[in-house]
Amino acid sequence: MQVAMIGGGMIAHDQILPSLYHLQRQCRIGAIDVCARNRETLRKLAEAPNLLNAFPGQIFTARLEPYAEVVAGLPPHQLVVVALPDDLHYDAVMCALRARQHILCVKPLVLTVAQSEEIEKESRERGLLVGIEYHKRFDDRSILARRRYQAGLFGEFKLGTACLLEKWYYRHSNFQSWFTCDASDAFTYIGCHYVDLVAFITGLKPVEVSVYGIKDKFPNGKEGWLWTDARVIWSNGACLNVQNALGFPDAGPGTNTQSLTMYCSNGEAGAWLHHSDQYRGLQYCYTRNPGGDGATTYAEPSPDYFQYLDLGGPGLVPTGYGYRSVAYITERALELQGLSLDDRRRLIARWEQDGLMATPSNSRYNEAVVEAARQSIANNGVPVKLKA
C-alpha cells in the first residue's frame, strides 16, 4: 500500500512521518509521498536531523503539485494522510474519498456536523476507511480506564476537570497567522482531546457547552482567544470543566501541562480517577539547556507519547501512543486491501462499533462540541446545546 501525506508541518515531522517510516522499515507499507505547497517545507522535512538519525536511507517523494493531482494519480485503496490546518481537512478528505482512497486524518476531522455527515456518507458508499487520529485514545492509561469504567468499577461520571496548556512560545510560531479570534480558540484547538477522552472512557455524550474566553495579543498584534475555560455537560447530567491556553511558561518542565480528573459514584460510594498526563514520573536535571523550543534544564519528559529508542540500529525505533495510533489506523487500511465492497463495509462497521478508532460517525460529538463552542465563546460563554 502506498501512502500520500498532504501537509508537511509540525505534526508531520513530530509524529506522522516517523511513524510511517517505521511501518515502511517493517515492510508494512510501500512508497511515501509528501505533498506541500512550498519547496522549503519539504526540504526542511527531508533534512530534519531527527528523521535522518532515526531512519537512515529512508526517503519520501516530495510532491509540489496540488494534492488533488497527487491523490488522483494513486491506484485506488491506498492511504491518504491529511495533516493540513483544521479548516482544510474537509476539502482534502472529500477529494481523497472521491479518488477512492482510505484516509487517516489528524484531529479534528472537520469543524461542522454537516461536513462530518457528508464525509460519512461518501465513505460508506464507497466502503472506505476514515480513521481520525485522536492519539490520546492509544495511551494505555486511557484504554485501562475505559475497560474499568465499562466494568462498572467507577460507577457513573459526575464531575471532572481537565486541562491542557501549551507553552507560551507557541505565540511566536505560525499560530499567530491563523489562530485568530474569528478562526479558533484554545478550547477548540486542544480542549477537544479531553472531551473525546471522557466520551471514550465513559461512553457518555456531550450535550451542552459553554466556553468563556480571554483575548490576548500575539507578537504580530493579532488577537486570539488564548485562554479558555469550558464547561461541558454530558448526557447523564455530568459536568466537565476544561481549561486551555497557549500560556504555560516556557521555563516550566515538559512540553506542556495536562491532566484529567474525574469524580464518579455508584450512588453508594464515590470513585475517583486522576491522570497526570504531563508528569509521568521522570525528573531530569541536565548540565545545560539542551536547546530547542520550550526546552528546559530541569525537564520532565514523557516516555509515553513519542520517543525514539536505540534498540541496536540501524537508526532508532519510535515508541509510544503517537506511533501506535498511526500504526493502528494504517493497519486497518491494510486489512481492507483486496476485499469486496461488502466485506470492507462489514469490517469498518465492526471497528466503528468497537470504538477504539475514531471515525466520523462514532466521534461526531467532537464536531458538535466545536460548533457549539465557537458560538458560545463569541457570546461571552452562553450555554449552547449540541446539534448531534
Ligand X SMILES: NC(=O)c1ccc[n+]([C@@H]2O[C@H](COP(=O)([O-])OP(=O)(O)OC[C@H]3O[C@@H](n4cnc5c(N)ncnc54)[C@H](O)[C@@H]3O)[C@@H](O)[C@H]2O)c1
Choose between 83 and 165: whose C-beta lies nearer to ligand X. 83
Per rule CB under 6 A, is residue 103 in the interface with ligand X? no
Residue 309 CB, nearest distance to ligand X (Å)? 21
Residue range at the interface with ligand X (CB under 6 A); choices 1-9, 272-280, 288-296, 342-350? 1-9
Question: Using CB under 6 A, which of 1, 4, 5, 8 touches ligand X?
Answer: 8
Choose between 70 and 271: whose C-beta lies nearer to ligand X. 70
Choose between 86 and 367: whose C-beta lies nearer to ligand X. 86
Which residue type, as a one-letter code, is found at position 289? N
Residue range at the interface with ligand X (CB under 6 A); choices 54-62, 70-78, 85-93, 367-375? 85-93
Question: Using CB under 6 A, which of 26, 30, 37, 75 touches ligand X?
Answer: 37
Nearest to 112 by CA among 140, 85, 87: 87
Supply 186's cell numbers: 484554545
The dihedral over CA atoms of 177, 181, 187, 193, expressed in degrees to the nearest 10, equals -40
Neighbouring CB atoms inside 10 A of 246's CB total 25
Per rule CB under 6 A, is residue 177 in the interface with ligand X? no
Question: Using CB under 6 A, which of 29, 54, 83, 238 touches ligand X?
Answer: 83
User: DSSP label at 221?
Assistant: S
Per rule CB under 6 A, is residue 106 in the interface with ligand X? yes
Question: Using CB under 6 A, which of 3, 4, 5, 6 touches ligand X?
Answer: 6
Per rule CB under 6 A, is residue 196 in the interface with ligand X? no
| Nearest residue to ligand X, by Cβ distance, number only | 9
Choose between 39 and 385: whose C-beta lies nearer to ligand X. 39
Per DSSP, the three-state class of 299 is strand
Per rule CB under 6 A, is residue 84 in the interface with ligand X? yes
Per rule CB under 6 A, is residue 247 in the interface with ligand X? no
CA–CA separation, 336 vs 327, rounded Å? Answer: 14
* Chain position carrying cell 489562530: 179
Choose between 7 and 213: whose C-beta lies nearer to ligand X. 7
Residue range at the interface with ligand X (CB under 6 A); choices 79-87, 118-126, 313-321, 332-340? 79-87
User: What residues pair up with 227 in beta bridges, in sequence order?
Assistant: 214, 245
DSSP per-residue string spanning 308-344: EE-SSSSS-EEESHHHHHHHHHHHHHHHTTT--HHHH
Region 265-294 residues binding ligand X, contact defined as CB under 6 A: none
Helix (H) or strand (E) holding 16: none
Per rule CB under 6 A, is residue 137 in the interface with ligand X? no
Looking at 27-155, which runs of residues are DSSP E strands?
A: 32-35, 61-63, 79-82, 102-106, 130-133
Looking at the chain, which runs of residues are DSSP E strands?
A: 3-6, 32-35, 61-63, 79-82, 102-106, 130-133, 156-167, 206-217, 223-234, 239-248, 256-265, 270-276, 284-285, 298-299, 307-309, 317-319, 384-385
Helix (H) or strand (E) holding 25: helix 17-25
Residue range at the interface with ligand X (CB under 6 A); choices 51-59, 84-92, 267-275, 378-386? 84-92
Per rule CB under 6 A, is residue 230 in the interface with ligand X? no
Per rule CB under 6 A, is residue 209 in the interface with ligand X? no
Residue 63 CB, nearest distance to ligand X (Å)? 9
Choose between 157 and 170: whose C-beta lies nearer to ligand X. 170
Residue 88 CB, nearest distance to ligand X (Å)? 6
Per rule CB under 6 A, is residue 123 in the interface with ligand X? no
Per DSSP, the three-state class of 302 is coil
Supply 208's cell numbers: 451542552
Residue 263 to residues 198, 247, 258: CA-CA distances in angstroms? 12, 27, 17
Per rule CB under 6 A, is residue 88 in the interface with ligand X? yes
- List residues near ligand X by CB under 6 A: 6-12, 35-37, 41, 67, 83-86, 88, 106-107, 135, 174
